[in-house]
């Protein structure tokens, strides 16, 4: 474990002169690709705002501690005024001590020959203990965003080990898919992406996800009306969003990192900032049976918030086509849940 003094001469956590107490933010897998983009954005104030000092608590596995040490040195070298302290550790207790935001990025990627069930079980061994450590050591206001794949089910596992933390504090990340979908719609319509709203990702962060173009808007009008090409929406649009991660690996030789880090920032901002009129945010949250989705799945849904509490958007309708797509992604999540049942304590 190492505690790094804050950059810019601010000194340790204890000498911080700001009137606002620092918020502790934990990032797991902090020496990885996403971490390398994400940490600098958090420390610069893009996650929690320009007036909020931050303590970064960075978790890695032992073999990556050297690399993490280098990242911490670079954070120092940025002299971020808001960065009160950086703590690097391979111990769960230290990583989650007093944290208000647990951003669970680190996980074990799928390797050749590995079945999805193997992957789920390996990651279960990571996310179960992390959930328990969050419950034992985090701040009372902790919120958890799971990014490491398979993120919906990893979130389910973490939560099962932290039953005392309320359901509305658990999220897994579908925001990158939302952003991808918004860009595709904007490009097709020939408008700035800021004109696209209410595009939500339903279900799993996987190739079965359903980007709901039916309820999306472009310039305030229904997206299907503006696009005027139902065949494209039902075909190429959906597959482009579903397969985007694979295409990026193909082109870049590495998986999405900067865009994923950007989506982490967007996800947290969408939880703490009131949702604009006529819009929604995509987050995978614990289902309570909304839209007939089985209870207790971590399911991608459209969410709105006043900045303090959030709700799933109600009253949306779906065509038979959309209902079938949602059924497919629901089935996949049910299968994943069944594969990790032994890790859920039930």
Query: What positions carry a catalytic annotation?
Result: 205
Give the residue, chosen from 3, 5, 13, 33, that forms a contact with ligand NAX under the rule CB under 6 A.
33
Query: Distance between CA atoms of 93 and 104, rounded to whole angstroms?
Result: 14
- Is-contact 212 226, C-beta < 8 A? no
Stretch that binds ligand NAX, among 5-13, 79-87, 145-153, 220-228 (CB under 6 A): 145-153
- Which residues 299-328 are close enough to bind ligand NAX by CB under 6 A? none
State the binding string over 44-83 for ligand NAX (x if CB under 6 A, else -).
---------------xxx--x-------------------
Q: Dihedral through CA 26, CA 31, CA 33, CA 38, nearest 10?
A: 30
Give kind and range of the element (H or E) at residue 170.
strand 170-172
Query: Residue 206 or residue 330: which is nearer to ligand NAX going by CB?
Result: 206
**Does residue 148 interact with ligand NAX by CB under 6 A?**
yes
Residue 176 in contact with residue 105, Cβ under 8 Å? no
Nearer CB in complex with ligand NAX: 60/336? 60
Q: Which residue has the tokens 């097709």?
A: 188
* Residue 66: both structure tokens together: 């050297």
Tell which one of 58, 126, 134, 271 touches ligand NAX (CB under 6 A).
126
Give the interface segment with ligand NAX, choosing from 141-149, 231-239, 271-279, 292-300 (CB under 6 A): 141-149
Shortest-Cβ-distance residue relative to ligand NAX:
32
Binding mask 202-231 for ligand NAX (x = CB under 6 A): ---x--------------------------
Nearer Cβ to ligand NAX (90/335)? 90
- The verdict on 157 binding ligand NAX (CB under 6 A) reads no
Query: Toward ligand NAX, which CB reaches closer, 191 or 248?
Result: 248
Does residue 272 belong to the site contacting ligand NAX (CB under 6 A)? no
Give the dihedral of Cα atoms 98, 42, 271, 219; nearest 10 deg: 180
Task: Give the position of tokens 């089985």.
Answer: 294
| Site for ligand NAX, residues 234 to 263, rule: CB under 6 A | 245, 255-257, 260
Radius of gyration for the chain, computed over Cα atoms and rounded to the nearest angstrom:
20
Residue 72, helix vs strand vs coil: helix
CB 37 within 8 A of CB 115: no
Other C-beta atoms closer than 10 Å to the C-beta of 250 total 9
Say if residues 177 and 201 touch (Cβ distance below 8 Å).
yes
> Minimum distance from CB of 298 to ligand NAX (Å)?
11
Q: Which is nearer to ligand NAX, 35 or 302 (CB)?
A: 35
CB of 252 to ligand NAX, least distance (A): 11
Name which position in 16, 147, 201, 286 contacts ligand NAX (CB under 6 A).
147
Place of tokens 């993120």: 151
Give me the DSSP letters along 4-47. EEBTTTTBSGGG---SSPPEEEEEESTTSHHHHHHHHHHHTTTT
Contacts with ligand NAX: how many residues (CB under 6 A)? Answer: 29
Nearest to 240 by CA among 217, 211, 265: 211
Q: How far is the CB of 235 from ligand NAX (least distance, A)?
A: 23
Which residues contact ligand NAX (rule: CB under 6 A)? Answer: 28-29, 31-35, 59-61, 64, 105-109, 126, 147-149, 151, 173, 176, 205, 245, 255-257, 260
């Amino acid at each position: 474990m190492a505690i790094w003094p804050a950059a810019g001469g601010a000194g340790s956590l204890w000498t911080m002169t700001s009137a606002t107490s620092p918020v502790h933010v934990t990032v797991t897998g902090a020496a990885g690709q996403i971490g390398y983009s994400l940490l600098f954005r958090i420390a610069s104030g893009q996650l929690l705002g320009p007036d909020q000092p931050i303590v970064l608590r960075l978790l890695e596995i032992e073999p990556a501690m050297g690399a993490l040490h280098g990242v911490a040195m670079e954070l120092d070298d940025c002299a971020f005024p808001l960065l009160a302290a950086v703590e690097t550790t391979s111990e769960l207790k230290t990583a989650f001590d007093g944290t208000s935001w647990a951003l669970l990025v680190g996980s074990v990627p799928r390797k050749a020959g590995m079945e999805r069930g193997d992957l789920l079980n390996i990651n279960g061994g990571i996310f179960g203990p992390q959930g328990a450590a969050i419950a034992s050591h985090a701040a009372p206001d902790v919120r958890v965003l799971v990014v490491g794949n398979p993120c919906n089910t990893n979130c389910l596992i973490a939560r099962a080990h932290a039953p005392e933390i309320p359901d509305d504090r658990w999220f897994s990340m579908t925001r990158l898919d939302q952003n991808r979908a918004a860009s595709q719609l904007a490009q097709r319509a020939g408008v700035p992406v800021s004109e696209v709203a209410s595009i939500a990702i339903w279900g799993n962060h996987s190739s079965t996800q359903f980007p709901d173009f039916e309820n999306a808007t472009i310039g305030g009008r229904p997206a299907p009306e503006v696009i005027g090409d139902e065949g494209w929406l039902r075909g190429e649009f959906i597959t482009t969003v579903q397969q985007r991660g694979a295409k990026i690996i193909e082109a870049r030789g590495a998986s999405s990192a900067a865009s994923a880090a950007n989506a982490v920032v967007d996800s947290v901002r969408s939880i703490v900032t009131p949702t604009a009129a006529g819009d929604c945010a995509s987050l995978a949250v614990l289902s309570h049976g909304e839209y007939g989705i089985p209870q207790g799945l971590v399911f991608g849904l459209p969410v709105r918030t006043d900045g303090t509490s959030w709700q799933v958007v109600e009253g949306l309708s779906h065509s038979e086509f959309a209902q079938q797509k949602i059924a497919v992604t629901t089935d996949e999540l049910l299968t994943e849940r069944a594969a990790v049942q032994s890790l859920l304590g039930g």
